[in-house]
Every structure is written in C-alpha cells, then in structure tokens.
Amino acid sequence: MATNSAFHFLTIFVFISIITIQVTYGDEEYEFIKAVDPTAIKMKEEKLSHFRFFWHDILSGKTPTSITVVPPPKNNSFTAFGLVNMIDNPLTLGPELSSKMVGRAQGFYASASQEEIGLLMTMNFAFIQGKYYGSTITVVGRNPASNMVREMPVIGGSGLFRYARGYALATTYTFDPKSGDAVVEYNVYVMHY
C-alpha cells in the first residue's frame, strides 16, 4: 500500500511540475512581444527630408568603386543579364567627383532583365557629413537604367533614419559607354523621425 501511495505522490508531483513548466513557458512566450511607448525610444514627430546628391559608379582606372563579382554569360545579349557588381560609390554634392563627398553608396546591382537594361539595386546610402554622420538610408528596387528617371523604394535605414520610408529618383547625369563609368543624380525623399 505504501508503494501505491508513493506512486500516486510521484505522479501528482510530476503532473504539477509539468503544469508549472508549461505555465512558465507560456509566460515567457507571452513576453516575446509587447507594446512599446514610441517616446521610450526617442521617436518624435515624423518629418519628410529631401536629399540631393550625385552617385559616381567608376568601373575604370586604378581604383574602381564598382567591380564585377559575377560576369554575365558570354553568349548574353546587350542587357548583360546575370551580371552582378559590388559597389562602394562616392556620393557628392555636385556632379564632379572633386565636389564635397557626403557619403558612400554601398551594396550591389545586378542585371535582372533579359528584355532591357533593368537592374536590381540593393544599397545603403551611408552618410559621412554633419548630423547624419553614421546614419544610412536603404534602397532596394528595380532600376530600368535606360529610362530618363527611375524610381526605387526607400525601405528603411539606421541612425537618424530608423523606420525610414520613401522613394529615390535616379537620373543619369553622364554615362561613358566605353568605360562604363556613370554619374547619376539622386533625389531621395524620406519620411523619418
């Protein structure tokens, strides 16, 4: 009889332990996400900012800022479908490379169209001047490069651009078909806190 009582006690103890573990686990799962007061993370009133700068894609010379990491297949058409270039391009106030640098465009672009020169752009505009030093704006989108003006979405950012959203307009300023070098004017409109 004593063995039977010990078995019941042990069974009840294990059952209570399992319930306690499930309740504790359930509490931890509940705490996985919770509402946060925006002022606790220094979110103030949202504002719209406009940035204008020039993006220098330099494939030629001793220190290119854009290098091919995946070449297109040799039998490819004029679109260079399959090409992937990694970039660390200067962003300047004026169209001349010698004008004041305000940041760098870091990321890659890939030729993603078989029908036209259509690029997939994935890049961070990493700023190095003024109050935006160390902050980034992230752009990811389609760039039909032969269009006069191309629009790409701003999908986020860091630093002063946390929770950023907006769009970037790209307009080719110069393009050298021999070297592949290009200067593109960017007008970026960003909603941020």
**Do 155 and 139 contact (CB within 8 A), yes or no?**
yes
**Structure-token pair, residue 157:** 């950012």
- Domain assignment present for residue 42? The answer is no
Segment 83-125, tens digit of pLDDT: 999 999 999 999 999 999 999 999 999 999 988 999 999 999 9
Residue numbers of the domain that contains 31: 3-35
In a domain, 41, yes or no: no
Confidence of residue 74 (pLDDT cuts 50, 70, 90): confident
Q: How many domains does the chain have?
A: 2
Q: Is the pLDDT of residue 82 over 60?
A: yes
What pLDDT, on the 0 to 100 scale, is given for residue 129? 93
The reply to whether 87 falls in a domain is yes
79 and 124 co-located in one domain: yes
CA distance 152 to 189: 11
Degrees to nearest 5, angle at CA 56 with 120 and 90: 100
Tell me, yes or no, whether 94 and 175 share the same domain.
yes
CATH number of the domain encompassing residue 57: 2.40.480.10
pLDDT of residue 40: 74
Q: Is residue 40 part of a domain?
A: no
| Same domain for 85 and 22 | no
Confidence band (pLDDT; 50, 70, 90) for 10? low
Between 178 and 36, the more confident residue is 178
Closest to 113 measured CA to CA, from 61, 72, 153: 72
Mean pLDDT over the full length of the chain: 88
Q: Quick one: pLDDT at residue 57?
A: 98
pTM attached to this predicted model: 0.79
Residue found under tokens 């006069």 = 148
In percent, how much of the chain has pLDDT > 90?
Answer: 68
Q: Rounded to 5 degrees, what are φ and ψ at 73? A: -60, 150
Q: Is residue 10 part of a domain?
A: yes
Same domain flag for 21 and 96:
no
Q: Is residue 24 part of a domain?
A: yes
- pLDDT tops 70 at residue 7: no
User: Which tens digit of pLDDT belongs to each residue from 31-61?
Assistant: 667 787 777 777 778 999 999 999 999 999 9
